[in-house]
Amino acid sequence: MRWSIVLMLSATLAGASAPLITTSSDSDITLNASLGNNRDSQSFDPLTYTPIDQRIAKLETQSKQQNSDSTDTNRVRARLVIADIHLNNRKPREAIAALDKLETEYPVLADYVLLKRAQAQTQLRDLQAAKATWEQLLAKFPDSPASAEAMFALGQNQQLLQKFPAHPRSQEVTLRLLAQDPNRVDLMAHLATYFSDYKEIVPILNRLVASSPSLTSDQWWAIADGYYNKFEFGRAANAYARATVNPITAYNYARSLHRGKQFDNAIAAYNRVVQQFPQSPQAPRALIRITQIDSPEAAIAATDRIVTSYPDTAGEALGIKAAILQDKLDSPKSASDVRNLLISRYGSSNDAGELRWRIAKGQGRGGQIKNAIATVDALIANSPDSTSAAEASFWAGKWANQIGDKAKAKKFFEFAIRQHPDSYFAWRSASSLGWNVGTFTTARYVAPAIAIPSARVSLPAGSAKLQELYILGLDRDAQSQWLTELRGKRNLEPKEIFTDGVLRVANLDNLIGIKTLESLNWIDVPNSQKAEIAQLKQHPAYIHSLYPFHYWDIISNWSRDRKLSPALVIGLMRQESRFEAQIRSRSGAIGLMQIMPDTGSWIASKKGVNSYNLDRPEDNINFGTWYLDYTHSRFSDNSMLAVASYNAGPGAIGRWVESRGLGDPDEFVNNIPYDETRDYVSKVLGNYWNYLRLYSPSIQQQITALEQPNNINASSKF
């Protein structure tokens, strides 16, 4: 069941191919059917996850209200959403009725009203009417991305590529033309510039580079990014060497050499980043990278340069220096001096927190429980946001319980939940406090009421039209609008990264979308943008996009049938596949719940099923939940062992339990011998917790109570 980023995906939604419909009209025009907004016909609304008929009934009530200005806005919005839902469910007559005269009442999206009308007319096969509407759209809104759909439908391919080069329809046209003439340099360059994340971009880039055309430095930058994101590091380095020179391309050139194991060249390239762009956020990161591949002496020199010139990265540099002195230069006294400097001068840094946690763990293992608790107290007081604070506070709570200090334990557990609510250790802390969030042995049965938010807040980047499309849930249109507005921009601002990630997830481009949002945690940016990123992460779309509810109706049905917590199933699915239905692992595991073909055959024989398709979400979730139920039955409903065996196999987990015993389950998790499985368990159960704490009103109330000023003041002093 092991998962890796090796994809064999179908075309992404934004560029999915539409069928061709040929008309026998006088103009003998070929109309490309531009149909619908999101996915195939569904019984559940993809925004609210309520049955379609219920959603439409609610929207129709809104559409009939005529009172205040705000109600009028809701009324016209409701009509467009109704039309879109009908289009997605192949009910074009109902869509046309909802759209009647709507363009005059809804001017901000009048272009998209015409787009929906043309799509509905195409579904009806009324191609003459569709042609007239497409032409009306082009005449009235020539600069709107909606007109790209009209150009596509009317076969105006060259005009489409020139006017809307970054629109998803341009990708589709380019691929179609390239299939006819695979060596057209202009088409290959177009894909590289605007669609370098295309799933099969590497062979195209290879042909483009081999043709030795006269490419611009920005085109080389796009080519380099395409290679880099597909892990073609040697080719990426060659392209970055010709790309536009800036701190990002210079660093990525060095990083490509590094990841391609050309270490001497990488060291020289990293040093050039520091020399050419000393004030960039990439400069200290380049020096950090040097410490990973250069000699111990050179690495020490690099850490000293960081401490001298880059105080914001000094804590990290001192942590690295201490480790080198201790492990590679056999100088424990010097290493101790560096650690003391780290604590005394950079005590609030993340690395000082990591150091204090290592000390506390050693004290705990040595039986010095009170000293270990005191060390965690210092960690929390000095670096409460460090990456180790949640784990440290949870274990300090366990230690406090061991010595009978229940009040102190409670404060540690509450700190982990309040300060690091998204962590696995927040779940372990909530469980230790007796919250109804499940334990290792009861998680499979925890299924509190779930409330999925459907109201949306404007995104931080993009036009007013984009915001309106996104708020309405017209996600494919919103992404087309967004990509057109970006126009292939390479160096995105944090707010643009955020918007791009949210829209990708909304359109089921989850693997890249979630990774894009997660990148906000680690990208190197100027200090001025760090506060901006912290603010962006408070936007509700951030956490809801990291933990989306794709396939929730199917998950809920099969979880109920197997008596499994839906939160546990969706948490496991998020880890296995990031909700990519056609994903493949290196080992051949298939689909949403990453089922090996042999395992699928075995499950089918147990279920008495002869026909199934693991690429089909319904079948994959059916089989995956059956197997998760099976692993639970193998280990007496212990979800920690069941989840571990989903990854490593029941046989391996059984041998570990037999040879070592279960004992303290938290210690058992820490001592799982496979790094992948150990990490897998904490991530799946951390996902499970996040779905509960984000979407269960009862658990949200408990977390909110911890955040009240009186509770914060009472629990902040350890």
Contact at 8 Å (CB) between 308 and 297?
no
Dig out the tokens for 256 from the structure: 């490509």
Question: Which parts of 466-597 are beta strand (E)?
Answer: none
576, 618, 667, 707: which one is catalytic? 576
Pairing of strands 20-22, 30-32: antiparallel
Nearest one of 228, 127, 108 to 490, comparing CA atoms: 228
Q: Decide if 468 is catalytic.
A: no
Structure tokens at 203: 């062979």
Contact call for residues 595 and 614 (beta carbons, < 8 A)? yes
- SS3 for 648-696 is HCHHHHHHHHHHHCCCCHHHHHHCCCCHHHHHHHHHHHHHHHHHHHHHC
Please give the backbone phi and psi of residue 489, each rounded to the nearest 5 degrees, phi first: -55, 135
- Looking up tokens 């950079």, which residue turns up? 346
> Which of 510, 480, 684 is closest to 9 using CA atoms?
510
Helix (H) or strand (E) holding 635: none
- 553-557 long-range contacts (CB < 8 A, ≥24 apart) are 553/43, 553/44, 553/49, 554/617, 554/618, 554/621, 555/621, 555/625
In 563-664, which residue ranges form alpha helices assigned H by DSSP? 566-577, 597-607, 617-634, 639-648, 650-660
Q: How far, in Å, CA of 572 to CA of 577, rounded?
A: 9
Look up residue 54 and give its two tokens: 């219920």
Rounded Cα–Cα distance for residues 291 and 329 (Å): 14
* Token representation of residue 351: 């690395």
SS (H, E, C) 51-62: EHHHHHHHHHHH
Q: Output b/e per residue, 143-160; b: 16+ Cβ within 10 A.
A: ebbbbbbbbbbbebbeeb
The first and second tokens of residue 475, run together, are 């996600």
Partners of 672 in the beta sheet? none
CB atoms < 10 A from the CB of 678, how many?
18
3-state secondary structure of 86: helix
Q: Which residue has the tokens 């994809």?
A: 7
What does the block give as tokens for 35?
């149909």
Cα Rg of the chain, angstroms: 28
Return d(Cα 626, Cα 342) in angstroms, integer. Answer: 51
CB atoms within 10 A of CB 561: 12
How many angstroms separate the Cα of 246 from the Cα of each of 193, 209, 529, 659? 18, 22, 18, 56
**In angstroms, what CA-CA distances link 117 with 31, 76, 98, 102, 122?**
14, 15, 10, 10, 9
Residue 252 exposure: Cα atoms within 13 Å on the Cβ side: 29
Q: Nearest 5°: phi and psi at 132?
A: -65, -40
Q: Which two tokens stand for residue 14?
A: 């934004």
Token pair of 525, please? 């940016």
CB neighbour class for 543 (10 Å; exposed up to 12, middle 13-18, buried from 19): middle
State the amino acid at position 376 in one-letter form.
V
Instruction: Indicate which residues carry an active-site annotation.
Output: 576
